């Protein structure tokens, strides 16, 4: 069984299409939120996501903000400017789709799905082993899949040593999952790990394996659309180097 795991699409249709093509045939798709925000294609990305068969999707903080359910003051200046534009751009049908999605952690078999973290599904970043360790007490499944940080990585809990380690697994390597782990597929639409390629992962729940993957896409075309929309230059510039 192949499950496509994606997160932080951030209104980047070109990157999303590249990921869907590179992933090939999958049985299910799990989206960890932030479908909108930053990028130039909120409606096109929402419509593409809505058309994905066997989809499970949770809300991210940018999605919640576009719905008007989060104070924009918690975002930086550039993110706020983008969110105001996104909120004005998203059509009613796509808003209804976002409204149908859960903000809380969703359990799929042996996996807990959240945008931020299991203990704070919308907002908390899992960026270090301390935060990861605190979160292992917040979900009862062997694995949790999270996004939000835009970093393709995994936190592994050694049950015997009661120790958490941070790993950045090689792209393309199929990793057997043992013990308990918090895994991040990285960002489709705005990677921040110095690899500008769109990030995603393939999970096999039967064999219990995780494969981090990347897909090349036409970054310059997305940058052009960001600039044409009058969105912050930072959101265009960072795509080229993945920062």
> What's the confidence (pLDDT) of residue 159?
85
Q: What contacts 24+ positions apart, CB below 8 Å, involve 154-160?
A: 154/181, 154/182, 154/183, 154/184, 154/210, 155/126, 155/129, 155/181, 155/182, 155/183, 156/180, 156/181, 157/132, 157/133, 157/181
With 0.85 as the threshold, say if the pTM is over it: yes
Q: What is the per-residue pLDDT across 138-174, written as a single tens digit (0 to 9) for each?
A: 999 999 999 999 999 999 999 888 899 999 999 999 9
Residue 21 pLDDT exceeds 90: yes
Query: Looking at residues 75-102, what average pLDDT do you find?
Result: 97
Mean pLDDT (the chain, rounded): 97
> What's the confidence (pLDDT) of residue 229?
97
Percent of the chain with pLDDT over 70: 100
Q: Name the band, by pLDDT with cuts 50, 70 and 90, for residue 89.
A: very high
Residue 131 pLDDT exceeds 90: yes
Return the number of other C-beta atoms located less than 10 Å from residue 74's C-beta.
Answer: 11
Q: What is the per-residue pLDDT across 167-200, written as a single tens digit (0 to 9) for each?
A: 999 999 999 998 999 999 999 999 999 999 999 9
Query: Looking at residues 53-70, what average pLDDT do you find?
Result: 97
Number of domains in the chain: 1
CB 204 within 8 A of CB 1: yes
CATH number of the structural domain spanning residue 60: 3.60.21.10
Query: Looking at residues 39-61, what average pLDDT do you find?
Result: 98
> What's the confidence (pLDDT) of residue 94?
98
Domain enclosing residue 63, as ranges: 3-241
């Amino acid at each position: 069984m192949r499950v496509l795991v994606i997160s932080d699409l951030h209104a980047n249709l070109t990157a999303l299409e590249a990921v869907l093509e590179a992933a090939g045939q999958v049985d299910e798709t799990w989206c960890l939120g932030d479908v909108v925000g930053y990028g130039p294609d909120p409606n096109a990305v929402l419509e593409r996501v809505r058309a994905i068969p066997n989809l499970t999707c949770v809300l991210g903080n940018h999605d919640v903000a576009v719905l008007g359910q989060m104070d924009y003051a918690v975002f930086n200046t550039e993110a706020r400017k983008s969110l105001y534009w996104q909120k004005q751009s998203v059509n009613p049908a796509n808003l209804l789709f976002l409204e149908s999605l859960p903000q809380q952690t969703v359990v799929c078999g042996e996996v807990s799905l959240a945008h931020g973290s299991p203990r704070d599904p919308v907002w908390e970043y899992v960026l270090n082993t301390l935060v990861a360790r605190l979160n292992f007490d917040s979900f009862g499944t062997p694995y949790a899949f999270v996004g939000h940080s835009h970093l393709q990585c995994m936190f592994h809990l050694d049950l015997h040593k009661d120790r958490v380690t941070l790993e950045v697994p090689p792209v393309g390597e199929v990793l057997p999952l043992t013990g308990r782990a918090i895994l991040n597929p990285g960002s489709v639409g705005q990677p921040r790990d110095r690899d500008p390629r769109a990030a995603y992962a393939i999970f096999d729940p039967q064999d219990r394996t995780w494969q981090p993957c990347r897909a090349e896409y036409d970054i310059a075309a997305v940058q052009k659309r960001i600039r044409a929309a009058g969105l912050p230059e930072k959101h265009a510039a960072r795509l080229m180097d993945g920062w």
